[in-house]
Amino acid sequence: MSHVVLYTAAFIISLCLALALTPFVIKLAYKIGAIDKPNHRKVHTRIMPRLGGLGIYAAFIGAYFVIQPFIPEGLFRSYDKNLINAMIAGGSIIVVIGVLDDRFELSAKVKLLGQILAACVVVFGFGVKIDLLNIPFGEAMQPVASWISIPLTIIWIVGVTNAINLIDGLDGLAAGVSGIAIATILIMAAVMGFAPVILLSALLLGGVIGFLVFNFHPAKIFMGDTGSLFLGFGLATLSMLGFKQVTMVSFVTPLLIIGVPLSDTFFAIVRRWINKKPIFAPDKGHLHHCLRELGFSHRKTVLIIYAIAAFFGLCAVLQSTIVQSDAANWITFGVILVLVFFLQIGAELIGIVDKSRRPLISFLQRLLVRTEQSRSK
């Protein structure tokens, strides 16, 4: 079986399994009481099953074991196999935590401990960690000391896992944004010829798209923490390829891949800090909430965020293909500054941090007034 056929078969099998298994997951969620009831923070107005991530996970695992006997000998090195096993083992721990939370609503501390455990399994159990880092304006890939790489990897996995969880607020939002990020990783891995990430991304993308059929507005099922945590964990693990492998990929690539959930998480932390609220306290100030307040419909809000996620993904792909040089580094640096500038402008316009504070816009307005005054003189 050729490699392209293998990856295509993996995607199709995972897609079909998700389409077939999700209706059974819906019934199971109602049966065991894994349901989401409406409240003042929720957008939905009726009881919904929230175990959907189990369908994504089952499709991912099921398709992998179906395809495994057909994987050509020698396609994966020992490190590649470790990456696959780390994804399966750590992801399974995350799914168990998610299922328990969807049914019994675990505390934030318990979920955090579960995420740290899964990250530790990846790092200590299978040796998958960030050990090479491309520093802009530096000498290609730089080795990272273990005392830095281990906590850095754990923080990255836990951080990204929670970032996906935070954007799971509208039908199809987290699944779609995750799917776009996975597709971005798949394209980059294909360009690099990194076989294990191509296979894992194809499997995961198939499961996500199959589930999205039941999750897009109006949703028949929510992915719940089972899905958002599993997808976050998967993205964190797969996007670490942006820290290693080839010199043309810098440390900003994985940040661009998951730019939407990371930026939303960053603004949430700043917002809660400014308002003197606990960092883990839920609120209705996320990107999707702000867009809804501006009058966009449920579907339009989700599609707008899809477009933003796709733009970030395109930037990641383009940035990763720039040949490493001083000029390329400066181009990348300039693009990042422009992205940060427009992110801040957008955040102030929609009020994602504070409805009344617009420091950058106010500064630009004052600058414009002064320019006009100087011209009039």
Asked whether residue 287 carries a pLDDT value surpassing 60, the answer given is: yes
What is the rounded CA–CA span in Å between residue 106 and residue 97?
8
Model confidence band, residue 19 (pLDDT cutoffs 50, 70, 90): very high
pLDDT band at 141 (very low <50, low <70, confident <90, very high): low
Strand partners, 36: 48
Tell me the average pLDDT of the chain: 84
Greater pLDDT, 370 or 19: 19
Predicted confidence at residue 248, as pLDDT, reads: 36
Q: 350 or 248: which carries more pLDDT confidence?
A: 350
Whole-number pLDDT of residue 133: 56
Of 79 and 164, the one with more pLDDT:
164
Average pLDDT over residues 127-156: 69
Which has more confidence, 7 or 3?
A: 7
Over 80: is that where the pLDDT of 132 sits? Answer: no
Residue 285 pLDDT > 60? yes
* Rounded Cα gap, residues 68 and 70, in angstroms: 5
**pLDDT at 43 (0 to 100):** 57
pTM summary value: 0.86
Kindly state the tokens that stand for 68: 């495994």
For CA atoms 362, 365, 370, 373, the dihedral sign is: negative
Q: Is the pLDDT score of 136 beyond 60?
A: no
**Range in 252-256, 281-285, 321-325, 354-358 the model is least confident about:** 321-325
Q: What is the mean pLDDT of residues 145-172?
A: 85
DSSP 356: S
Domain count, the chain: 1
Cα-based angle 277, 337, 369 (whole degrees, multiple of 5): 85
Residue, of 335 and 312, whose pLDDT is higher: 312
In this model, does residue 330 exceed pLDDT 90? no
- Of the pLDDT bands very low, low, confident and very high (cuts 50, 70, 90), residue 44 is low
Mean pLDDT of 216-240: 91
pLDDT value of position 17: 98
Q: What is the pLDDT of residues 253-272, one digit of tens each?
A: 777 888 888 888 888 888 88
* Tokens linked to 88: 């399966």
Mention every residue, 6+ apart, whose C-beta is less than 8 A from residue 352. 264, 267, 271, 285, 286, 287, 290, 346
Residues 174, 231 contacting (CB under 8 angstroms)? yes
* 199-225 per-position pLDDT tens digit: 999 999 999 999 999 999 889 999 999
User: Which residues 6+ apart lie within 8 Å of 140 measured at CB?
Assistant: 134, 247, 324
Percent of the chain with pLDDT over 90: 40
* Residue 225 among known ligand-binding residues: yes
Res. 134 pLDDT band, cuts 50 70 90:
low
Q: What is the pLDDT of residues 54-82, one digit of tens each?
A: 999 999 999 999 999 998 887 887 777 88
- Residue 40 has what pLDDT? 57
Look at residue 328 in the predicted model and tell me its pLDDT.
Answer: 58
Residue 244 has pLDDT above 60, yes or no: no
The burial of 17, by beta-carbon neighbours within 10 Å (0-12 exposed, 13-18 middle, 19 or more buried), is given as buried
The confidence score (pLDDT) of residue 249 equals 42
3-class SS at 35?
Answer: strand
122 or 39, greater pLDDT:
122
- 18-22, 44-48, 232-236, 365-369: which has the minimum mean pLDDT? 44-48
Sign of CA dihedral 145, 315, 238, 346: positive
CB proximity list for 148: less than 8 A, separation 6 or greater: none
* 80 annotated among ligand-binding-site residues: no
pLDDT, one tens digit per residue, over 86-96 is: 999 999 999 99
The predicted pLDDT at position 245 comes to 45
Identify the domain containing residue 239 by its residue range. Answer: 3-376
pLDDT at 286 over 60: yes
Q: What is the mean pLDDT of residues 284-309?
A: 87
